[in-house]
Structures are given as C-alpha cells and as structure tokens.
Amino acid sequence: MPQTAPQGRPPVSVYGTLSALAAIMFFGFMTIGMPLPVIPVYVHKTLGYGAVTVGVAVGIQSFVTLLLRSFAGRTVDTRGPKAAVLTGLCGCATAGAFYGVAALMNVPSASLAVLLAGRVVLGFGESLILTGGMSWGIGLLGPSHASKAISWQGIAMYSALATGAPVGAYLLQEAGFGIVALVTIALPVIAFGLALRVPAAPAAGGKRLPFHRVVGLVWRPGLAMTLGSIGYAVIAAFITLFYASRGWSGAAFALTLYSGCFIGMRVVFAHAIDHFGGKRVAMLSLIFNVVGQGLLWSAGHPHMALAGAALTGIGFSLVFPALGVEALKSVPAQSRGSALAAYSAFFDLALGLIGPMAGFVASAFGYSSIFLCGAMGGLAAIAMIARLPKPPLSDAEPAKGDALASTAPATREPGA
C-alpha cells in the first residue's frame, strides 16, 4: 500500500514523476539540440561569416550557461525548482523568437546580432532548466531517489540532443531557418504545458550557503567527474578524425554504439547507485571507462575501437549521477540547487577545456594519444574518489537529518 503523505499530500509515483519530468526535459532540450547543426550552416552559408564567427555563435550559449550557474542555483533554492524550470522554458521560447526575427532580416550584420542575442537567452534558459530539473525530481521524491532523478534527466537530455540535431538539419534543408525558429518556439511551449501539471517541490527551510562555500564543498566530486569526463569528451570530438587517420570507416557507428551503451546503462542500472552508493558505482564505472579508453589507444582494428567506444559508454554513463549523489551529501538541503549548479559547472568546464587541450595533444602525438589521456584521467578520478572525505552523518543519512527528506511527499512505485 502507498504510504500516507505528510500534511495531506497525495502519494507520488516515483516512475510517473520521473517520466513527467523527463518529458519536460526532452522537449526543453530539443530546443538546444536542434540548432546545433543549423547555426553553423546559417551563419556561414546564409549570412556569409567565417569559422571564428561560427564558433562564437555556437559557443556563446554554453559560455553563458556556465556564467549563470550561480544564478541558477540561487533561483532554484529561493524560488523553487518548478519556477526555475518554467522561467528557463520561457527563455528557450524567447530564443526561438529571436531566431525568427533574425531569419526575417535582410541585413547580415543585424541578423547575426539578433541571432547572438537569442543564443545568450538560450544559455540563460538552459542554466535554469538543467539545475531546476534535477532539483525538482529530488524535491518531489526525496534524497533516496536522487540518483534516479539525475539519471533520468540525463537520459532525456542526451536523447533530445541526439534527436534534435538531425531534426534541425532536416528542417533547415527542407523548409529553411524560419521554420527551425518556429519549432524552437513550439517545443518549450509544449514543455511548459507539461510542467504546469507537475506539482511544485516543497521548499527546504533554513539558512542557505553562499555559492563560493558550496563550490568549496563539492569541488572534489566535481573535479573527479571532470577527470572522468575526458574519455567522453575525446570520443565526442575526435572519434571521426581518429577513424580517418587509420583509414577506417564506421566512425558514426562507434558514436551510435557509445550512445546506446550510455543510455542503456542509465535505464537499466540507475538504481545501482541507491543500493551500492555513489563512490562504489563511480569507481567501478571508471574502471570500465579506463579499459575502453585503453582499447581505443591500442586499437589496431575497427572492431577493437568499437569495443573501446562501447566500454567507454558503459563506464561513463553512471559517473555523473553517482558523483552527483556524493556532492549532494556535502551540503544542507536548502542549498541543494546551488550544489547541483556548482557540480554541473565542472562538467561545463570539462567540455570547454578538454576539447582544445586534446587537440594540442593529438597534433603533437597523434589521435590515438588522446585516448591514453582519457585512460589516465579515469585512473586519476578513481584515486580522487577513493579519497573523498566522509560527509557528516546528518548529511550522509537523509532519513535521520535531511530537511528535504522530512518535507518530501510519500512515494510509491507503480503498482504499489
């Protein structure tokens, strides 16, 4: 039988809530995934700008997202995750409106300026829906389901990015940039409607920590996650060039295999973090990651490279949620949004720094050498995780001292 919710709250279905939030994140992040292949083509071929401008147009969104992590965490902690997500979705729809205005202009410089404004607004929206989505799931279901909340959001995000890119490219080719803009407006509107139907998470009372203090509490799992992300980043950025340097075909299949293993692990084994703990799952996962990167480094045949890509996908899949759970143990419940924002910023940092650094390594030592760096990063991450300090008992055991646990509604599994 479902538990009786405190203060008259109805029982909350774990997987029903996770599915609803995942749908919101999927439509929200489609807004981010669709422009990825579209913006470079539009800026270069339609507006006539070069590679540097293309890079700015693509990268400015992620830069803004990183800069606004503190703002997003504070918004989630003070206004609540539902309000943060709704505001972020409005930002995503506004970005689509900017794209539409840019498409209507006949002056390339004006179109570019409006487009860049849209990319800035999209970075604002992404920062809020990313942090708010994770916090919303944890707030509704309680800290015992934190790993599921983070994992399911990751599945929705990666699925949206993988789906959005080809959809965006198809719409640009068949209907033009204006249609891409209209769809970019419609998708967050759909997500907004879904979000209105999901109850708000109860707020956690108490004094909130300054963001710099939160960063000081979560930097160890955050840095370990950054080191463990090297394998993911180098596969995403360089697997195609690595295959080409060996004269092999099938790089796209390697990416597909990596993504399939990544998502499959999230779906099937997300509960393992709850049973075995974030540290154990992260360390075991990174062992697979290290082996996968080692296979890619030493690959003398495409099949060996495919096995390496698959093992890397298996190995990195649970690292982010597992270490995220460890990061949350270090902060009080009323600063959980800031903790998720600070922790996620380490992943932003990884994606921003690893690509250029790996490019320098590949130029000096060849493309296979970047996978050796990925393996070494995984080993360093394992060593850091093993030395993570034990959190205070009240934070480590939410049932005894977690303010959020005491205010979360009762949960039930489907069919309970």
Rounded CA-CA distance 176/189 in Å is 21
Amino acid at 283: M
Whole-model pTM above 0.75? no
Rounded CA-CA distance 296/204 in Å is 46
Instruction: Write the DSSP symbol of residue 301.
Output: S
What pLDDT is stored for residue 142 in this prediction? 80
The predicted-structure confidence for 114-124, as pLDDT tens digits, reads as follows: 999 999 999 99
CB-based contacts of 213, cutoff 8 Å, min separation 6: none
CATH of domain 14-196: 1.20.1250.20
- Cβ atoms within 10 Å, residue 261: 21
The predicted-structure confidence for 364-414, as pLDDT tens digits, reads as follows: 898 899 899 999 999 999 999 998 877 654 443 443 333 333 334 444 333
Same fold, 14-196 and 211-396: yes
Could you tell me the CA-to-CA distances from 22 to 3, 125, 141, 154, 299 in Å, in that order? 24, 17, 14, 9, 37
The ranges of the chain with pLDDT < 70 are: 1-12, 51, 202-207, 237, 351-352, 355, 391-416
What pLDDT is stored for residue 215 in this prediction? 79
Amino acid at 265: M
Instruction: Write the DSSP symbol of residue 200.
Output: P
- Cβ atoms within 10 Å, residue 302: 17
Beta strand ranges found along 202-252 (DSSP E)? none
User: Which stretch of DSSP H or E encloses residue 411?
Assistant: strand 411-412
Domain definitions of the chain by residue range? 14-196, 211-396
Q: Specify which residues 13 forms β-bridges with.
A: 412
Q: Residue ranges of the alpha helices (H) in 247-402?
A: 251-269, 272-276, 278-298, 302-317, 319-328, 336-365, 369-386, 393-396, 398-401
What pLDDT is stored for residue 27 in this prediction? 93
What does residue 390 show for φ and ψ, rounded to 5 degrees? -75, 130
Q: Which CATH class is domain 211-396?
A: mainly alpha
What pLDDT is stored for residue 378 in this prediction? 93
What does residue 188 show for φ and ψ, rounded to 5 degrees? -65, -25
What pLDDT is stored for residue 398 in this prediction? 41
What pLDDT is stored for residue 185 in this prediction? 93
